[in-house]
Structure 1
Amino acid sequence: MLHIPLINRIVIWGLVVAGLALAMPNLFYPRVERHNDAVAAIEAQGATPEREADSGAWPSFLPSGLVNLGLDLRGGAYLLAEVQVEDVFAERMEALWPDVRDALREVRGEVGAIRRIDGAPDVLRVRIENEGAMAVAMQTVRELARPVVSLTGAGRSDIEVAGDGDELVIRLSEAERQATVDRTIQQSLEIIRNRVDESGTREPSIQRQGERRIVIQVPGIGSADELKELIGTTAQLTFHPVLSRTSDADADAGPREIILPSMDEEGVSYVLEERPVVTGEELTDSQPTFDQNGSPAVNFRFNPSGARKFGDYTLENIGSPFAIVLDDEVISAPVIQDHIPGGSGIITGNFTVEESTRLAVLLRAGALPAEMTFLQERTIGPELGADSIEAGQIATIVAFAAVLVFMFLSYGLFGLFANVALIINIGLIFGLLSLIGATLTLPGIAGIVLTVGMAVDANVLVFERIREELKTARGPARAIELGYEKALSAILDANITTFITAAILFTLGSGPVRGFAVTLGLGILTSVFTAIFVTRLLLVMWFERRRPKTIEV
């Protein structure tokens, strides 16, 4: 018998109302967006009259989730960057040299004098005096090897040691090189994401491409140059003891010394100890502030390890200058006036408010592990995004109208029920997109347009099956019931295979392909729901009210 229990009807209409309620904020996009931005700013930085006014632009008891607009719809910047992992290999060799030197000095009686010689940046070459003790030297250095920290390199050593005449050749093993590449790329991805998130942009797309490349897409940012300035700065902060200062541009640094220029004093350089006391890697927080003179500055705070080293050094060196170095420039070199035990301090300089804010963001996000080379860059203006939205709207409306007319002309009243379900279906798609915080791109709009065409397939199968059942002289109620029962398997088979395709596209694809897969997959779910449950419920409600003796599909 054609009947749907009351509890099932409540659940169906409840899901429909919930989905449409989640989609509703997108009809008032600017207002809701202003409200969301104000709420986030109040939580992060405190309330102001302007923020309070903006937060009241949308009632707080209503849903406020929005479908985020992608780069091609909102405008923004696109960068394709390549990470120079060779720099990391060279740094590893530099860091390994003191350990190799100390280890070989312990067996100096056998190997004789040792001396590092020039070679490729990612190779460490050491000449030993006694070539006959090469086996001893190789074994001594091999004892410095550590296991590779990766799933694919488990059980292997991180360095390879070989002899070449009287030269000891040390390089990273292939497994360690691959693990280092993976770690460097993952660290770069995380730092870039932190920096972009700190800048307050919405839904950036930051993905690895190939072995050493990263694709960065940030909607809403002004230009590619602005994005490069934000993520391309390494922001390597270090604190060095000051040995002296000089105005001699041709001055040479002594052993384990470096000469760095002053950021504020033109023509002045500082001679510093090469090894820093603490580094930016031990920073836990940095915030823009103002110094005692009211000039923009940056507060910083170290982790326990950094705080201990910072405190110990200031205790032992009261009255000595201490250089704060950012990206190989001395920001300032204040004299230590007192012991600083808390692990916090302030960076002062000739900053503007914008520069101090950006510096705080960069320090908080951390230093990039390696330099990046930008291979491609594009800036997409908001006007182009507006044109894309308009074109997508026109395509959706045309497809929508054509399907509505076709269904009504083909199936009459039953087609009208299918059209109502189709309208609900579009609302549910946007409701789900808002719920999961998905990003809508131009290919995503294409997925919605395709969904509009596919959404009626299930209804067509049901209605054609009902026609067949009516020819067997069954009553209208039984014909409708059998139509849904016998069409169900075909509906599920067709949509499951398409959903699997969407899942594969989402898993293996990137960028625009994923945007298409998301809207296609969600559209399949909502289409099946509206066709099997919503359209059927509309038919049952109409049938119970009219009780027709015959029906015509």
Structure 2
Amino acid sequence: MLYFARWKVAAILGVILLSVLLTLPNLLPRSAIPSWLPARQISLGLDLRGGSYLLLEVDLNAVIKERLEGLADGARTRLRQANIGYTNLAAQPEQRRLSLRLRDPGQAPAAVAALRELANPITSLATGVSTPDLEVANADGLVTVTLSEAALRDRAAGAVEQSVEIVRRRIDQTGVSEALIARQGTSRVLVQLPGVEDPNRIKDLLGRTARMTFRLVDDTANLQAATPPPGVEFLDGEQPGTRYAVRRRIEVDGANLSDARAGQNPQTGQWVVNFTFDSVGTRRFAEVTRQNVNRPFAVVLDNKVITAPNINEPITGGSGQISGSFNAQSANELAVLLRAGALPAPLTVVEERTVGPELGADAIRAGLISLAAGATFVFLYMGLAYGLFGWLANIALLVNLIMMAAALSLLEATLTLPGIAGVVLTLGTALDANILINERIREEARAGRPPASALEAGFSKASGTILDSNLTNLIAMGVLYAMGSGPVRGFAVTVAIGTIVQMWTATTLVRLFVSWWYRARRPRTLPV
């Protein structure tokens, strides 16, 4: 009890010094910190710093429609290969199905077998059993292909998760720091942008699906017809009044892009977007351009033809250029969208709020006042109730606050109002361990033990109780973090860090202070 090895003392003081150094950058503006210094700071959340709040909804109907259109293309190919005649092939998104009428009802078994090959297996996480995502049925030559309930749930979950990741990539590339992007419910994405008071640019960036495809142009189709031929669709061009007959079949998908950068054409000076394919895209692009020399090849972005140049020769280098009526900003925004990837479905803004920095300043001021008031009352109580040992615990409490700030800085955590509440709560509970130790020391001293023995018994016997009580608190914070949303998680992280730190300060740091005092004074009675 009365002896601490020099290396232990050095380690304890080193931890405190490191905590002070990690906390200092929070007291300085970012511009005053040298770029070479690996300093980390606590960021302020939306409720403290101000900014924008967006709640986006994924259009799941578009996901279903895209899957059915893909099935229609696949059905044409399969039935053509099987020499099965049909009519009235149509996707019915509202009923989640594809239907067609067979010319010869006697071919129904062969048609059903061919269409079932289009199904994808879906594996249940609970049972591990795989089931097809399509249900194929026949009624007197009317064949229907319906998406199963499991397929709908799987595609909805996948679309939302993919949307969250792509939204995060897009926002990261705009330079907005400390943004919070999280899934909310079954079909919504929450976006919080601290410090962004005008979210219109971000909304425009997130509102574009940015699905880019490369498709062949059908130059034999009549653009004046009311309906396009099978397997073809009419799309508008970027220039007003232009129209193209584009095949529905996607020759090369924009998902195979590995990079996209804005630049200027050295010959014309116009802004363009230079892109590069990955290995799969490079191989496919070379194959398509080799087989379709002297045919127009359309670059389609969000169902609009950006450009449709002729293929003069095979393009085997895996790179290309998108030209159009771009300026510097639009070219950079398109490059950002292509690098981040396409959204699986359009996003619509269902809720939007802007939080002013004045509200954040008031919240910070109120939080600091509550923290100061709580610290003052706690310090007075400990000093009056336990004398010298109470004031030693108060010093450890100050170190506790510094170490909490250091840990949050190291994690580059975002501090919100619930986080401040967690700090204040930790301040009140941080001294519970010291109270247990001091009460135990009192009991041992009243039982007639000498000072050194009473101190040893107080710290050693209270340690088990301190560990048990704080472990239950950590379990509760773990459950909050696992099942809570952003603000609740911030509260849980703050309290969990405070709980771990307070166990160390109470059982190690205060013990070191008491050891120094006892060896210096050698008292006959304990002031507790």
How far the C-alpha of 1:535 sits from its partner, in A, is 0.9
Q: Does 1:116 pair with 2:86?
A: no
Distance 1:61 1:128, change over 3 A: closer
Deviates more, 1:532-541 or 1:372-381: 372-381
Structure 1 counterpart of 2:331, from 332, 356, 365: 356
- Tell me the equivalent position of 1:21: 21
Q: Secondary structure at the match of 1:215?
A: strand
- Tell me the equivalent position of 2:511: 536
Q: Which residues in structure 2 correspond to 1:265-276 (within 5 Å)?
A: 265-276=239-250
Alpha-carbon distance in 1 for matches of 2:401, 2:255:
49
Q: Secondary structure at the match of 2:213?
A: strand
Distance 1:372 1:248, change over 3 A: same
- Tell me the equivalent position of 2:72: 97
How far the C-alpha of 1:120 sits from its partner, in A, is 4.1
Q: Secondary structure at the match of 1:463?
A: helix
Q: Does 1:547 pair with 2:522?
A: yes
Q: Is the 8 A contact 2:42 2:415 kept in 1?
A: yes
Amino acid of the structure 1 residue aligned with 2:89: R
Q: Is the 8 A contact 1:74 1:385 kept in 2?
A: yes
How far the C-alpha of 1:253 sits from its partner, in A, is 3.8
Q: Which residues in structure 2 correspond to 1:20-39 (within 5 Å)?
A: 20-28=20-28, 30-31=29-30, 34=31
Q: Is the 8 A contact 1:459 1:531 kept in 2?
A: yes
How far the C-alpha of 1:170 sits from its partner, in A, is 1.0
Q: Secondary structure at the match of 2:285?
A: helix
Q: Which residues in structure 2 correspond to 1:420-459 (within 5 Å)?
A: 420-459=395-434
**C-alpha RMSD of the superposition:** 2.7
Q: Secondary structure at the match of 2:338?
A: helix
Q: Secondary structure at the match of 1:324?
A: strand
Gaps of 5+ in 2: none
Deviates more, 1:342-351 or 1:321-330: 321-330
Gaps of 5+ in 1: 35-56
- Tell me the equivalent position of 1:307: 282
- Tell me the equivalent position of 1:388: 363
Q: Is the 8 A contact 2:42 2:408 kept in 1?
A: yes
Amino acid of the structure 2 residue aligned with 1:386: A
Q: Which residues in structure 2 correspond to 1:257-272 (within 5 Å)?
A: 257-263=232-238, 265-272=239-246
Structure 2 counterpart of 1:291, from 265, 290, 298: 265
Amino acid of the structure 1 residue aligned with 2:15: L
- Tell me the equivalent position of 1:145: 119
Alpha-carbon distance in 1 for matches of 2:435, 2:348:
54
Distance 1:188 1:150, change over 3 A: farther
Q: Does 1:326 pair with 2:311?
A: no
- Tell me the equivalent position of 1:4: 4
Alpha-carbon distance in 2 for matches of 1:340, 1:517:
55
Structure 2 counterpart of 1:522, from 497, 514, 526: 497
Amino acid of the structure 2 residue aligned with 1:235: A
Structure 2 counterpart of 1:237, from 212, 222, 225: 212
Q: Which residues in structure 2 correspond to 1:488-503 (within 5 Å)?
A: 488-503=463-478
Q: Is the 8 A contact 1:117 1:127 kept in 2?
A: no
Q: Is the 8 A contact 2:272 2:322 kept in 1?
A: yes
Alpha-carbon distance in 2 for matches of 1:414, 1:61:
43
Structure 2 counterpart of 1:187, from 147, 155, 162: 162
Q: Secondary structure at the match of 1:148?
A: strand
Q: Does 1:375 pair with 2:345?
A: no
Q: Is the 8 A contact 1:224 1:377 kept in 2?
A: no
- Tell me the equivalent position of 1:465: 440
TM-score (norm 2): 0.91
Q: Secondary structure at the match of 2:75?
A: helix
Distance 1:118 1:512, change over 3 A: closer
Q: What fraction of aligned residue pairs are identical, expressed as a percent?
A: 43
Amino acid of the structure 2 residue aligned with 1:280: G
Alpha-carbon distance in 1 for matches of 2:355, 2:24:
28
How far the C-alpha of 1:463 sits from its partner, in A, is 1.4
- Tell me the equivalent position of 1:343: 318
Alpha-carbon distance in 2 for matches of 1:495, 1:289:
58
TM-score (norm 1): 0.87
Q: Is the 8 A contact 2:293 2:314 kept in 1?
A: yes
Distance 1:115 1:243, change over 3 A: closer
Distance 1:246 1:119, change over 3 A: closer
- Tell me the equivalent position of 1:512: 487
Deviates more, 1:327-336 or 1:3-12: 327-336
Alpha-carbon distance in 1 for matches of 2:271, 2:82:
55
Alpha-carbon distance in 2 for matches of 1:132, 1:328:
39
Q: Is the 8 A contact 1:90 1:123 kept in 2?
A: no
Alpha-carbon distance in 1 for matches of 2:402, 2:201:
36
How far the C-alpha of 1:397 sits from its partner, in A, is 1.6
1:114-164 Cα offsets, whole Å, 9 max, x none, are: 442564452011212344554443334334434225534632122111223
Deviates more, 1:440-449 or 1:337-346: 337-346
Distance 1:253 1:131, change over 3 A: closer
Alpha-carbon distance in 2 for matches of 1:386, 1:317:
63
Q: Is the 8 A contact 1:21 1:63 kept in 2?
A: no
Amino acid of the structure 2 residue aligned with 1:116: L
Q: Does 1:279 pair with 2:253?
A: yes
1:227-258 Cα offsets, whole Å, 9 max, x none, are: 32222211122233445699988875444333
How far the C-alpha of 1:299 sits from its partner, in A, is 1.4
Alpha-carbon distance in 1 for matches of 2:160, 2:496:
30
Amino acid of the structure 1 residue aligned with 2:263: T
Alpha-carbon distance in 2 for matches of 1:548, 1:59:
50
Structure 1 counterpart of 2:137, from 150, 162, 184: 162
- Tell me the equivalent position of 1:45: none
Alpha-carbon distance in 2 for matches of 1:246, 1:218:
47
